[in-house]
Structure 1
Amino acid sequence: MQFENKAGGLEGPAVVGRVYFSKSGKTLYCKGLKFKGLSGSGFKANYFETHSGDHCWISGPRKDRQDRLYGGYLGVQIDEAVREEYFKLIS
């Protein structure tokens, strides 16, 4: 999944990494962080990190690599743990 932090504005740091879903599917976990859905109440964000409250955009990777909310891939970090799987998926 691709995470783009929206705490500082419409475009923020972005990373592609592995997520785990709760049994209900309403909570996401990644690298020790817990994310809950905003249920349509966020501005250009669909999840928030429960500890800090930071809003973010989380979505699946796209084959055209336009992974950011507003397109583009510049500055998107790819976690080493998923790098090979990510490139297989988008090619």
Structure 2
Amino acid sequence: MARRVMYLQLKTGYDTDRGPSWIAWVRFSKTWQTAYVHGRTLRRWWGLSSANFVDVDSGEEFWLSGPKRDRTDGRYGRGSPAVDADAAGPYEAFLGGVPLPGRERG
């Protein structure tokens, strides 16, 4: 299973880019259609206006993407994501110019 440091934001119940967000390790299925993070199972979903994954249990919508060095991780602006303790080291190194683990080639 692939594992990546990702930006994720809860979209359900919040205005544009106002939901809580995190920098966290996310595990992906072999097909990259299912993500596992914070005890949730998220399935890739097409056709949503502001989200790209849906929680299979709660139906909540999430936006997942790779983090950006300029910290403009939200789709429409800057945010202040909470950084999980286990992702802090790789994330800080990434902000300093090091490739993310698993993304050494892009």
Provide TM-score, normalisation by structure 1: 0.91
In the alignment, what sits opposite 2:41? 34
Match of 2:91, as an amino acid? Y
Q: In percent, how many aligned pairs have the same letter?
A: 30
TM-score (norm 2): 0.79
Alpha-carbon distance in 2 for matches of 1:88, 1:46:
27
Q: Is the 8 A contact 1:61 1:67 kept in 2?
A: yes
Q: What is the DSSP-based 3-state SS (H/G/I as helix, E as strand, rest coil) of the residue aligned with 2:13? A: coil
Aligned length: 89
Deviations 1:12-53 (A, max 9, x none): 0001100011112110111221111112x1121111111100
Off by >4 Å, runs of 4+ in structure 1: none
The runs of 5 or more residues in structure 1 that have no matched partner are: none
Per-residue CA shift, 1:38-84, capped at 9, x if unaligned? 12x1121111111100011110000101111212123x100001001
* Cα distance in 2 for residues equivalent to 1:73 and 1:87: 16
2:90 equivalent to 1:82 = no
Q: CA RMSD in A?
A: 1.0
Give the number of the structure whose alpha-carbon radius of gyration is greater.
2
More deviation, 65-74/12-21 = 65-74
